[in-house]
Structure 1
Amino acid sequence: MTFPLTLLNLAGAVALLLWGSHMVQTGVQRAFGPRLRDLLGGALRSRSRAFLAGLGVTTLLQSSTATGLMTSGLCAAGAVELERALAVMLGANVGATVVAQAFSFHSAALSPTLILIGVILFRRPDGGKNRDLGRALIGLGLMFLALGQLLDIMTHYEDSPNLRILFGAVATEPVVDVLLGAALTWAAHSSVAVVLFTLSLAARNVVPPDAALALVIGANIGSALNPLLETPGDDPAARRLPLGNLFTRLIGGGVALAMLWPLGRWMVTLQPDVGRVAIDFHTLFNLAVAAVFFPLLSPYAALLRRLLPNRPDPADPARPVYLDAAAREAPALGLSAAARESLRLADLLTEMIAQGQAGLRASDRRAVVETRRSASTLARLAAAIRGFLAELDSEDVTPADDQRIGAILTFVAQVEQAGGVLARNVLAPAAKYLKKTVALPEPPRDEILAMLDRTSANLRTACALLMTEDARAAHLLLDEKTLFREREEQAAQAHFEALACRGEAQASALRLDLVRGLKLVNSHIVAAAYPILDRRGELLPTRRVSPTA
């Protein structure tokens, strides 16, 4: 048989190995994909469980790349901390060695049985999960068949001068072997296939032990390239996990490459079968990397966050606009910037009120639910303002500056609380009611819309008070508490009358809940006046009547 035909047979066996791996991966993903993702998400409560989850999922999928892409998606979405995601990848890398170990026992006799069972399941009329499991079993059978063919090809042509020249050209330099192994794994998207191919080469003495170990090191490095290159978007934070996984493989590969010659001699002494040496080295390499990096995940994750910080999203309303870092050094500039950002915080609450009004007016439950989520935006921006004020240069802060800081912090806290109460106590009950009915009853709806208008006007008064610290604006805000208290009393009386008349009390109950919620929202807005009135001595220490002697 000619040498080109030999290469064609070799390429065909490798292609069959890759296709079998692809069928196993797609079959398992189609049958258990959502469950595997849920398994990863639910097991990420601790590093140990995350490590085991990564090991188990990769053993089923036979692809650490697929596990890495799923975990990267969870990490980029903020559903999992970086430390635990890195633990998943350490487990996934060990899981890939479990798959390679299972195929290294040359169970080619299982191939016909697996393919037969797979075809029966694949052709069942009910389809569904059975069809996907059949696909996976056919893939397993093809992988066993391809591995057996590779061993036969290497046995038949191990004395071929041309084949030895071809592989001998890349076996003289370990660094070239590492690069070749990484390139093959990147192109094949499967470290398992490349490691098994290396096993077949080493088992028939086509490549020496050192070259086989170097190819395995390259396969481990190459398996970390695809998750990095296939990470969508250009956000640096989304690349922390794949880049962190690549760094662990590069560091481990560099150490292993430096120790390649003595390590290879030692392992060949323990195990004369060079093919088994390659597989065992693959397992030992990943176990050693996991053992070294697992205790260091917290500082390692902190380093990755430092190297790849979050990229601010220009469209994110929670991103501060006026908090200039340079203004921290001058309290006068810093306080002005914080006050301006606080007004922007109030603008976000005003938009939230307007969106809530639109949703209630149109009885659009989806719009009401979406508006509720704006409370988290308020919370993030409020946290940024508080953090900025905490970092002002304390040496230049005067007593007047301290009072100003207190007023801004009070305003920020009360606006944040007002947004949270609006979401929980007003919009949530309204959305719950709209889920059961078509529209809100007109009498309570019109009253709530009017009260929201008044709440928005009070918020504008609170903003003016923050900038001018005029006591007249503070008095106007305090007067508004009386109005909202009267509205609450009227709503409570109407509800009691509806209950007493055994009439329809659902609308009156909704009205009472919403009025009470808006009263609490308004109370937080009015509280912005307290620092100004307190400095003027216009606030009582308590509303309780003093006991007489």
Structure 2
Amino acid sequence: MSGTTLLINLAGAIALLLWGSQMICGSLLRGFGSPLRRWLGQHLNNRWLALLCGIGITGVLQSSTAVSLMASSFSAAGTLGLAPALAVMLGANIGSTLVVQLLSLDLSLLAPILLLCGFLGLRLRDDSRLESLGCALIGLGLMLLALGQLGSTLKAVENTPVFQLVMSSLDGDLLLALLVAMLLTWMCHSSVAVVLLIASLAATGLLSPATSMALVLGVNLGGTLPALLGADGNVARRLPLGNLLVRLLGVALVMPWITYLAQLESIAQLPPQLLVVLLHSAFSLVLGLLFIGLTGPLATLLTRLLPAPPVASDPGMPLYLDQAGLEVANIGLANAAREALRMADMLSGMLDRVLQLLRSAHLGHAEQVRHTDQSLDLLSAAIRAYLADIGQEGISDQDADRSQEILLLVINLEHAGDILASSLAQLAARRLRRGEPFSAFELGTLYPLHQELLESLSLAVTVFLREDLPTAHQLLARKENVRRLEAAAGREHFRQLREDQSAWAESGDIFQRLLRDYRRVHHHIAALAYPALERAGEREREHQAATTPVASHQEHNPCAY
């Protein structure tokens, strides 16, 4: 077999290994990411429990990089403290070693079984979670196939002159071996795949124990780089930097003793492949036990090294739309939801400014409403673009529904803000510029409408966060209250105009248009109740379909009588 063919086979096996790992991680996050995120947010207050969670989640997702991205996003968003997040990362490092130990066994017979089970899971039922589980099983089967292909290719490669020359150049130069492994791990974004590759190379006998150990240390350093280089902002960089500092300290402690450790009889007698796996596991386990009690001081140090940036003066600039959320759909949706709630707060502030404008006749309030609306539009555009980029490889049905809910909230809040800024506030300012303040009757009519809007906005936020059906029904019922208030105010206003012939016609028209604008704003707020009610209706229909007894064949076959 030619050298070119061997390189193609080797590259293909590594690519298949990485693709299988990505399939497992992406499928499980797509199908079970939202429940996992909720569970993490509720149970990671204890550092030992956080350590165990990191081990378990990495074992399931087959990727410590994915766990690092999740923990970094939680920490940056304030959902998870930095100290527990560091404990999660220590557990994730240990969990990745367990994955290596499992995949280093001879599981060639398991690969076709996993592929078959995954295919059946995709075909038997139209269920998003079962489909995600089937994709994960197929990914695990592909990883096992890739490992078998990798082993057979390396057996053919080990006798080539070029390979022996490369290995001989690394052998003895421990620093070069460490740097090569670190760079390869960063390029592959998978420490598991690179450790398995090193184990396969060590099994050929071309790597000395000292070189194998240096390569393993390089993998541990390189595994921290993807999350660190991909972090956006000081707060997001704290956790991956802490992970890098812990591993860098471990490498600095072990590196000077590699030559001595390699000469120990107990280590020299170990099979080369087993030596790589055990060293990788022991390194992460010892670091985890040493630093689990130092997560608090380390978190304080990282906070001082990477202080939080000053809050942007423009409220329209997003605060929570970090890049890590684009990789993990449920994290990105949580980030978008937090920004959408900021929009609700901004709309509430605009309503307060409008009320101050009506009361005080100070035209500066109208200008403040306009500026807030510009920030609202800017934030809305950022959220919509962020939602479009989340989960480009596909998201679960549940996450897709949540994305549509956030989008509906954002669009309706933006439209409500546009009505307040471009119509309601401008109409009020036009009348006030003519020196015609609103009468006691007009203010007494507008106050109840204004209060209805504020209370309905609060109910809409509750429905969005909790999917509370009684609250959703209450929100829709307020539409009728607003309609009645508008109709009663309009009738009474026309009656007063007929009695007072000296009143300006345009002033009356502006008041009627203000009533209409209040109702239009409320229409956009009340529309936020529909997603929860529609989902409840779908669940009710599914329940009725499941509980309705299936009619017999005779009941549907007229020829049977």
TM-score category (smaller protein): 0.5 to 0.7
Cα deviation 1:102-135 (Å, max 9, x = unaligned): 0111211211111121122223351422221111
| Stretch moving more, 246-255 or 261-270 | 261-270
CA distance in 1, matches of 2:28, 2:91: 19
Q: Which runs of 5+ in 2 are unaligned?
A: 316-345, 357-445, 460-470, 487-561
Report if the CA contact (8 A) 2:6-2:156 is conserved: no
Mapped contact 2:261–2:267 kept (Cα < 8 A) = no
Output the amino acid matched with 2:246.
Answer: T
Contact 2:185–2:194 (CA under 8 A) maintained in structure 1: yes
Question: Post-superposition shift, 1:95?
Answer: 0.6
Q: How does 1:282-301 map to 2 (within 5 A)?
A: 282-301=280-299
With normalisation by structure 1, the TM-score equals: 0.59
Deviation at 1:267? 7.5
Following the alignment from structure 2 to structure 1, what is the Cα–Cα distance between the partners of residues 451 and 49? 39
Answer whether contact 2:117 2:134 (CA < 8 A) is retained: yes
1:368 to 441, 451, 454: 454
Quote the residue 2:217 is aligned against. Answer: 217
* Cα shift at 1:370: 10
Q: Using structure 2 for the length normalisation, give the TM-score.
A: 0.58
Which residue of structure 2 aligns with residue 85 of structure 1? Answer: 85
1:265 Cα shift? 3.0
Q: Confirm whether residue 265 of structure 1 aligns to residue 263 of structure 2.
A: yes
- Deviation string 1:196-243 (CA, Å, 9 cap, x unpaired) is 1111001121322222211111111111111111123xx312211111
* 1:244 aligned residue: 242
Specify whether residues 125 and 299 from structure 1 end up closer, same or farther in structure 2 by C-alpha distance, changes over 3 A only. closer
How many angstroms apart in 2 are the aligned matches of 1:136 and 1:183?
Answer: 28
Q: Describe the SS at the equivalent of 1:304.
A: helix
- Aligned pairs (5 A) from 1:121-520: 121-232=121-232, 235-266=233-264, 269=267, 271-315=269-313, 354-355=352-353, 357=355, 361=447, 363=449, 368=454, 435=475, 437-438=477-478
Secondary structure of residue in 2 paired with 1:260: helix
Partner of 1:51: 51
> SS in structure 2 opposite 1:281?
helix
User: Equivalent residue of 2:264, what SS?
Assistant: helix
Match of 2:550 in 1: none
SS at match of 2:231: coil
Preserved contact between residue 30 and residue 132 of structure 1 (Cα < 8 Å):
yes
Amino acid of the residue matched to residue 251 of structure 1?
L
Give the whole-Å Cα distance in 1 for the aligned partners of 2:451 and 2:99. 50
Secondary structure of the 1:438 match is helix
Amino acid across the alignment from 1:435: L
- Tell me how far apart the structure 1 counterparts of residues 448 and 290 of structure 2 sit (CA, whole Å): 59
Letter in 1 for 2:303: R
- The CA RMSD measured in Å over matched residues stands at 3.2
Could you list the runs of 5+ residues in structure 1 that have no partner in the other structure? 318-347, 374-430, 447-549
The answer on whether the counterparts of 1:28 and 1:136 sit within 8 Å (CA) in structure 2 is yes
- 115 and 311 in structure 1: CA distance in 2 versus 1, 3 angstrom threshold: same
> 1:169–1:42: structure 2 CA closer, same or farther, 3 Å change rule?
same
Q: Secondary structure at the match of 1:123?
A: helix
| Residues 210 and 264 in structure 1, CA contact (< 8 A), matched pair in contact too | yes
**What is the match of residue 37 of structure 1?**
37
Distance across 2 between alignment mates of 1:20 and 1:364: 56
- Look up the equivalent residue of 1:196 and give its one-letter code: L
Amino acid across the alignment from 1:239:
R
Q: For the Cα contact (< 8 Å) 2:452–2:478, is it kept in 1?
A: no
Q: Is the 8 A contact 1:110 1:141 kept in 2?
A: yes
Residue 203 of structure 1 aligns with an amino acid whose one-letter code is: A
In structure 2, what residue type is equivalent to 1:237? V
Q: For 2:452 and 2:249, how far apart are their aligned partners in 1?
A: 50
Contact 1:365/1:434, CA 8 A, preserved across alignment: no
Distance in 2 separating the partners of 1:6 and 1:268: 35
Instruction: Output one character per residue of 1:43-63: Cα deviation in whole Å (capped at 9) or x when no partner.
Output: 212111111111111111111
- What is the match of residue 96 of structure 1? 96
Look up the SS of the partner of 2:170 in the other structure.
coil
Question: Matched residues in 2 for 1:125 and 1:266: separation?
Answer: 56
Structure of higher CA gyration radius: 1
> How far apart, CA to CA, are the structure 1 residues paired with 2:201 and 2:349?
67
Q: Is the 8 A contact 2:227 2:240 kept in 1?
A: yes
Q: Residues 55-74 of structure 1 correspond to what in structure 2 (within 5 A)?
A: 55-74=55-74
Q: Name the aligned partner's letter for residue 231 of structure 1.
A: A
SS at match of 1:169: helix
How far off is 1:372 after superposition?
7.7
Aligned length: 355
Q: Which residue of 2 aligns with 1:23?
A: 23
The one-letter code of the counterpart of 2:235 is: A
Aligned residue number for residue 340 of structure 2: none
Aligned-partner residue type, residue 307 of structure 1: L
Distance 1:142 1:212 in 2: 26
Check 1:219–1:368 CA distance in 2 against 1; reply closer, same or farther (3 A cut).
Answer: farther
1:170 to partner: Cα distance: 2.5
Inter-partner Cα distance in structure 2 for 1:125 and 1:15: 30
Separation of aligned partners in 2, 1:366 and 1:148: 67
Measure, in 2, the Cα distance between the counterparts of 1:436 and 1:4: 69
Return the alpha-carbon distance in structure 2 between the equivalents of residues 365 and 64 of structure 1.
Answer: 50
CA positional deviation for 1:272? 2.0
- The separation in 2 between residues aligned to 1:144 and 1:215, in whole angstroms, is 23
**Contact preservation (8 Å) 1:356, 1:368:** no
CA distance in 1, matches of 2:249, 2:297: 16
